């Protein structure tokens, strides 16, 4: 019987394990991919909005000569913290089910990359699974084509191509600007009627200028209704348009998967699908089952960031081992 199993080795899962370890428990982390895979999937040359101290976990300082850390620096930081902490991390193993035990605790069903299945028993379970594996799908014909991706890494492969970006958030705007620099013909399709208020204020004027000069085509109040090998169909203010096209970046956001939690009997709020939990302890309606990070968000997964999600583990640890300094 393990003390605690943390499901997910993202920054918030790592933070929870470190807080639990600090209070004398022996957590293990089970992660279906690599450590901090969400950050690995960020755009290659991305720079964080946050300053390094807001990304720190476990008391380990995040040193960087830059005001804002880069993706590569974050990967190095979290990987180093994971290695130095000595916490047991089991990568490339997927928890497929959580079963509460009659006498207390849980039995987790775990599948390895080879397909082998085994179980792990634990007194407590923390679900910190994030959301990057579950993009918000468009539900339109052609979305499954190889030319379509929900993840933007870097602009180079799209040089000289006709690329449609779907979305109006910072990720879509940043991608469009990158694509422009490598000589792509860029069209941004956004269902909003005007620019999103969340766009970084230092980026918006530059982007607007590119649109006004005709270097980027911006289609407001529009949506892509179909994708084919050589075109996309857009419905919006200008009626139905068929745009010649080589690639589609569907940057429409992501959503948490609640299957593990609901399968264990945890209740969700009717209003936004957020797991019912005590915000002081992060415990769900199932005793001993906790959530951390994006798992604690509602329908808007962006309401929880590393800056806030990293603190969830401290609440869990203080509840399980009160009064420990």
Ordered domains of the chain (ranges, CATH): 2-134+254-320 (3.50.50.60), 148-250 (3.50.50.60)
pTM for the predicted model, two decimal places: 0.90
Give Cα 74 to chain centroid, integer Å.
Answer: 15
DSSP E strand stretches across the chain: 2-7, 27-31, 88-91, 93-100, 106-112, 117-127, 148-149, 162-166, 185-189, 216-219, 223-227, 231-236, 239-244, 247-250, 289-291
Token pair 């994971």 is found at: 82
pLDDT tens sequence across 99-139: 999 989 999 999 999 999 999 999 999 999 988 888 889 99
Q: What whole-number distance in Å separates Cα of residue 93 and Cα of residue 96?
A: 9
At 182, the pLDDT band (50, 70, 90 cuts) reads: very high
Q: What whole-number distance in Å separates Cα of residue 132 and Cα of residue 39?
A: 9
Q: What whole-number distance in Å separates Cα of residue 216 and Cα of residue 96?
A: 44
Q: What whole-number distance in Å separates Cα of residue 75 and Cα of residue 35?
A: 9
DSSP string, 64-83: -SSSS-BHHHHHHHHHHHHH
Q: Which two tokens stand for residue 29?
A: 């982390």
**pLDDT of 200 above 90:** no
């Amino acid at each position: 019987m393990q003390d605690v199993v943390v499901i997910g080795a993202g920054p918030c899962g790592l933070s929870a394990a470190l807080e639990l370890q600090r209070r004398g428990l022996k957590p293990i982390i089970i992660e279906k991919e690599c450590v901090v895979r969400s950050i690995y999937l960020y755009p290659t040359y991305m720079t964080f909005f946050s300053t390094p101290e807001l990304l720190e976990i476990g008391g380990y300082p995040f040193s960087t000569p830059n005001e804002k850390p880069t993706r590569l620096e974050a990967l190095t930081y979290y990987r180093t913290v994971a290695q130095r902490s000595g916490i047991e991390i089991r990568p490339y193993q997927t928890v497929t089910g959580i079963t509460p035990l009659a006498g207390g605790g849980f039995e987790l069903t775990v599948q390895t990359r080879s397909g082998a299945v085994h179980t792990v028993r634990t007194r407590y379970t923390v679900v910190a699974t994030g959301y990057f594996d579950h993009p918000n799908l468009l539900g339109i014909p052609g979305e499954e084509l190889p030319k379509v991706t929900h993840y933007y890494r870097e602009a180079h492969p799209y040089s000289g191509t006709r690329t449609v970006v779907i979305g109006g958030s910072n990720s879509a705007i940043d991608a469009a600007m990158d694509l422009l620099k490598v000589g792509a013909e860029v069209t941004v399709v956004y269902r909003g009627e005007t620019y999103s208020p969340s766009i970084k204020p230092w980026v918006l004027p530059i982007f607007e200028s590119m649109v006004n000069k005709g270097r980027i085509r911006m289609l407001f109040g529009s949506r892509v209704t179909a994708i084919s090998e050589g075109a996309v169909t857009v419905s919006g203010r200008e009626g139905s348009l068929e745009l010649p096209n080589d690639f589609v970046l569907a940057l429409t956001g992501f959503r948490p998967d609640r299957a593990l939690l609901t399968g264990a009997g945890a209740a969700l709020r009717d209003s936004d699908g957020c797991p019912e939990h005590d915000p002081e302890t992060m415990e769900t309606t199932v005793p001993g089952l906790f959530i951390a990070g994006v798992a604690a968000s509602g329908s808007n997964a962006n309401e929880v960031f590393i800056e806030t999600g990293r603190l969830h583990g401290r609440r869990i640890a203080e509840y399980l081992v009160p009064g420990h300094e």
